[in-house]
Structures are given as structure tokens and as C-alpha cells.
A and B are shown apart, each in its own frame.
Chain A
Amino acid sequence: MALVDFTARVLDTLVREVRWLRRGAILLAGAVVLADILKDKGYSRFAWDGIPAFTAIYAFLGALALIGLYKLIGYGLVYRRPDYYDRGQDEQGADGHD
């Protein structure tokens, strides 16, 4: 139990100091972008290899696009009530969509 309590206390401290974690992550993100711009990649296999910070832009825009796509697919196509498959056969169908 001592290990569990100690780990819980460490996590509690990190949660309290989350603003420092956030700042550290942003600084690190800036640092890797800077490193990408300054450092020679050593290879040029694809057209985008020469674009500075391409991976950062791709990941950020990709994450936004994926989240948008998830919302679109979820609400537009596949979300149903949790009891959808448990309801009577006659009730199933278009009225299960909400």
C-alpha cells in the first residue's frame, strides 16, 4: 500500500502543478519544431521532406480533421442508443437513430 499511496501523492502533485507541465510541453513542442527547421534531415525521399515543421503541421491539422471526421461519422451515421440491439425486433430500424 505504501507504493500505491506514494504514487497517488506524486500524481496529485503533478495534477496541482499542471500549468508547469503544460508550459513544459509547449516549450518542448517549440524546441522540436526549431530543431526540425535548423537540422539537416539527411534524406529527401518525398516532396514534403523539405517543408520545415511539416510533421508538426500535419499532425495538428490531421488531429483536427480526424476529430471532425469522427463527429461527422458518429452523429451522421453510426451512433445509436445503447439498447439498440436489445429492443424488440419491430422497434428496430430508423427510429433507433437519435
Chain B
Amino acid sequence: MTEWLHPALLLALGALPLGVLQGRGRQAWQLVLPLLVLASVASLESGTRVTMQLAGLELTPLRADGLSLVFAYIFALILFIGNIFALQVEDNAQHVAAALYAAAALGATLAGDLVTLYVFWEIMVVASVWLIWRRQQRSAYQAGYRYLIVHALGGMLLFAGVIAYYLHTGSLAFEPLAGGGPAFYLILAAFLINAAAPPLHAWLPDAYPEATVTGTVFLSAFTTKTAVYVLARGFPGTEFLVWLGVGMTLYGVTYAFLVNDIRRLLAYHIISQVGYMVAGVGIGTTLAISGTAAHAFTHILYKALLLMGAGAVLHMTGRSKLTELGGLYRYMPVTFLLYMVGGLSISAFPLFSGFVSKTIIIEAAAEDGRGVIFLLMMLAGVGTFLSTTLKLPWFTFFGRDAGLKPAEAPMNMRVAMGLAALMCFVIGVMPQLLYTILPYAVDYNAYTASHLIKEGQLLLFTGIAFFLLLKHLGGKDKISLDFDWFYRDLGRRWVGSARDLVSTANADIRREFMTGFRRLEAAACRLRVSGWPMRSWPTGSMALWTALVLALLLTFGLSR
């Protein structure tokens, strides 16, 4: 491969045949294409830059370095795994959308300037919304439109920020942004919308659970992690992000526990896990940035695995609510075991991937002397284990038997889950494989006795608390209002009230005007019938009016 063959371009062009290929040919290309892209990414050497002039602007469509390559590797890898999971789907539009979405995420990650970043940023939105709409349900269409509107707002903020940045600095290079100024805040707000940072997050748990079974896997991987990358690139060491990130970790686990839909539960956990990464960016030390990149890598794998497990349950049973599931371990035992690998990974269980990545960020907080942050991150870890690894699998695969007798998930789904699970385990036992591709050298060993004892206590005693209160922890057949209530309910009511107000005012004005007009018409009729306007005018009266008109003409004529 040569450096001019941009991996995003290769993938975008490779997506086009997916629109027409059918059957085995389409399946084969779904497997070959991500491998070609992975090879293309692997061929990029750190330090590679490709620049070009366009309309007087110097653009850098390709910049490969330690930070961007970590994300590029995992994006190509998850496309491969996600495509295996989606092999049985006979919907070309979904496959094209997934590939274009991945291409845009790769393009944004490898962009060295803000214009290129903006273009790929917008393509990501347009491509990804089809993964929601192709569910072909009313709720999916509506959620997709809300998703589109929120991201259109984010895109506008980014566009305004890029213009402000160019006007202020005269440069479009995407480097760490200096604090303060409109450009800083506009671009930060746009990035935080994609990172699903509260209160700008509600699009994620609203839309992701409404997407297709296979589409959610791709959605979980690209948008938020691209946001993590651009935050790490543009805003390292921004103190505000530390607290925002920790807030995200706790916000996500709180809502995850409250919701009834298993895919929505996992969607909230994306917010929680991205919170660790945002906090890592805010801490900004080399250990924290490497921890952020490592956690993004492992998170994409285990979150895809968890969503594939939940998606397999939905695919085979047609249900996704905890209150409607239970007792599935006899019928979907492989799905259960593979899901648990994802659950143990996200909970930072020793031997699984989260243990060697999440703990880097927590260690970075400790090294930086941030005791409160350290404790809050541990508390979020408790919440994660409670809902993702205990509550969801217990009430889906064990608990009350819902009487469902589904078949095990199709072979391709199990292979995709198995591959993701294998990678979670391999990274967990051989973390150096991951550490060697991180942006900065990592002098960190997760497998010390102290770490193991601490993590063991955290998980075991959380488990004891869960089983002590088990009978109170089942799903509730309710929805949980979130910030989307402001535009789904309050906003809609405000718009409805405003519409009624305008409508009423319009009717009143029309009625009053017509009443006045009819009175005028009646008066004119009466006048005409009386014959008064047609009477003979006296000569004196005529002379008076003529003099008046001449005086007016003279006055205005002279004043000119």
C-alpha cells in the first residue's frame, strides 16, 4: 500500500459494490473489504502526512501518528467483526451505510485539518442515521429524525467553530486548541455532543436502541469514539473535562440501572465508559492519554460484544425488555457465556480487557493526586458491575422463566461474538500487545497483588450487595425520562402552544378586519343610496378645495 491510498477512500469506494452484490458475493466482500482496510491502516507509518492545496486552503487529509493509528486500527477491526455479525442481513442499504459510516470515522480520525474533519464529521451523521431508519419501524424513524436534528446542530457548531478558528489564527491545522475564545467553545461543544456528554447526550440512548440489531453494533463503535479521539487531539489537559467525564461515568450507570430495555441499558453504559475516557483527556498526562486510547480500543470490542449478545436475544426472541425476558440460558447458552466475557471486560475483571485499560485511567487520576476523582471512578465501577454484568444477564438469562424457547443465535453471530470475546481475553492476559500501539509508552502493570486484591474486593462485595437485594432489582415496565424530554415533550408542547396562539390571533384579526370591512361596506352603501356624493357642489366649496390643494402643492414644492 502507498500513502496516497487513504484507508477512508478505499473503504468508501469499497462500500459501493455492497449496494448491488447479493448472496455469497456480498458476504465475501463484507469480509474482504475490512481486511483490506486493516492492511491499509497497518501499512501507514507513524509520522505520515499527506497535504494538498484546495481553493487556497492547505489541507491535510491524512495524518498518521500514535494517537490516530490506535483508533484507525480498532475501527477497521470492529468493521470486520460487525460485518461477520451482519452476514445474514439481506439489506444492502444497511451494509453500504455501515461501510460509509466506518469510512467517515476513519477519515475523521486521520484528518490533519479542521475542514477535512468537518466533512467526514457530517458524512458520519448522514451514513449512520440509515442504520437507525432501516429498522423500518415508526419509533426508529422518529428517533432517527431526532438523532439527525441533534447532530445537525453539532455540525453547525463545528462549522462555526472552524470558521472562527480560521479567522482568529489563520490556520486550519487540527492541533491542541488554546483555551478561551469562541472557536474553543464552539468546537468543544460540537465534540461533546458526539461524545454524548450530559446534558447533550440524550440522542444516544434515544436512538441506538431503536437501530437495527446489527446497526447498533456499528453505532456503538464509531461516533462516540471519534469524539474521544478529537477531544484527546484538541483538548488534552482541559480541567473541565475531568469533572464532566466523572459525571458521565455516574450518570450513565445511574440511568443504565433504571431502564427496562436491555439495549438502552447498554447504550447508557456507553456514556459511562466514554466518561472515563473524557476524564482521561481532561487529566491530560501521557499515562492518562494512553489510558484513554487503550480504553477506547477495549471498549469498542467489549461494548460491541455486549450489544451483539443483547442483539442476538432480540433477534431470536423479538423481545428486549427485562420484564419480558428470563430463563434463556438453557436455549442460548453460548450467547450467555460470550455476553459474560463482555460483562467481565467492562467491569474490569482480572484477565479481561477492561482490567488492563480502565485501570490505567484510574491510576493516572491517582498519580495526579486526584483522590475524589479516584473514588468516584471506583463508584462508577461498582455501578457498572451491578447493571451490565449482574442485573442484565441475571434477569435475561436466569431469573423468572419467561417461557421463551428460542433457538441459539445463528452461527455467524456466534462467530462474531466469539472473535470479540477472544480479543477481550487475549488483551486481558497479554496487555503488552495493546500497550505497544498506544501513543505514549506505558509504564504500568495491572497485575500487581495490590491491584488484584483491590479489584477482587470491589467486584465480590458489589456482587454480595446485589444478591442480598436481588428481589428488589428486577426491571420495571416503565420508561425513564431523560433530557430528551425537553424536546420530545416540553418543547413539543411549547411549539403546540405557540402554534395555537398564532392560529387564534390569526383568526381574531381576520374576524375583526372582516367586521370592520363589512361596516365600511354598509356605510358606503348607505351613502350611495342617499345620493349625497352625487349632489351639486357649491362654487364656494369648490374654490376652497382648489385653494387648499394649491397651497399643499406650493408648500411641498418649495420645501424640496
Interface residues of A (CB under 8 A from B): 1, 3-4, 7-8, 10-12, 15, 22, 25-26, 28-29, 32-33, 35-36, 39, 41-43, 45-47, 53, 55-60, 62-64, 66-67, 69-71, 73-74, 77-82, 84-85, 89, 92-93
Name the A residues within 8 Å of B528 (CB-CB): none
Known: A66-B253, A74-B258. A32 touches B466 (CB 8 A): no
* A7 x B386 contact (CB < 8 A): no
Can you report 24 A-B residue pairs in the complex whose CB atoms are below 8 A from each other?
A1-B408, A8-B329, A11-B333, A29-B464, A45-B367, A55-B453, A56-B457, A56-B458, A59-B378, A59-B457, A59-B461, A62-B382, A63-B382, A66-B257, A66-B379, A67-B469, A67-B472, A79-B478, A79-B479, A81-B478, A82-B479, A84-B479, A85-B489, A89-B492
Picked from B374, B448, B453, B476, the residue with its CB within 8 Å of the CB of A32 is: B453
By secondary structure, the B interface counts as helix
* A59 x B382 contact (CB < 8 A): yes
Known: A62-B379, A64-B465. A32 touches B460 (CB 8 A): yes
B254 contacts A by Cβ under 8 Å: yes
- The residue among B460, B476, B481 with the most chain A CB atoms within 10 A of its own CB is B460
B203 contacts A by Cβ under 8 Å: no
B398 contacts A by Cβ under 8 Å: yes
For the complex of A and B, 4 pairs with smallest distance between CB atoms? A63-B465, A7-B333, A56-B457, A32-B456
Interface size class of B (residues with CB under 8 A): 35 or more
When C-beta atoms are compared, the residue in chain A nearest to B459 turns out to be A59
B280 contacts A by Cβ under 8 Å: no
Shortest distance in angstroms between B371's beta carbon and chain A's nearest beta carbon? 5
Shortest distance in angstroms between B464's beta carbon and chain A's nearest beta carbon? 6
Known: A25-B463, A66-B257. A12 touches B330 (CB 8 A): yes
Interface contacts (Cβ under 8 Å), in number, total 156
* A46 x B374 contact (CB < 8 A): yes
A31 CA / B330 CA spacing, docked (Å) = 32
* B371 x A60 contact (CB < 8 A): no
Shortest distance in angstroms between B315's beta carbon and chain A's nearest beta carbon? 16
Shortest distance in angstroms between A47's beta carbon and chain B's nearest beta carbon? 8
- The residue among A1, A7, A59 with the most chain B CB atoms within 10 A of its own CB is A59
Besides the contacts A39-B450, A56-B458, A66-B253, what 20 more A-B pairs have beta carbons closer than 8 Å? A11-B330, A22-B467, A25-B464, A29-B464, A36-B457, A39-B453, A55-B458, A56-B461, A60-B461, A63-B461, A63-B465, A64-B465, A79-B480, A80-B480, A80-B481, A82-B260, A82-B478, A84-B489, A85-B479, A89-B496
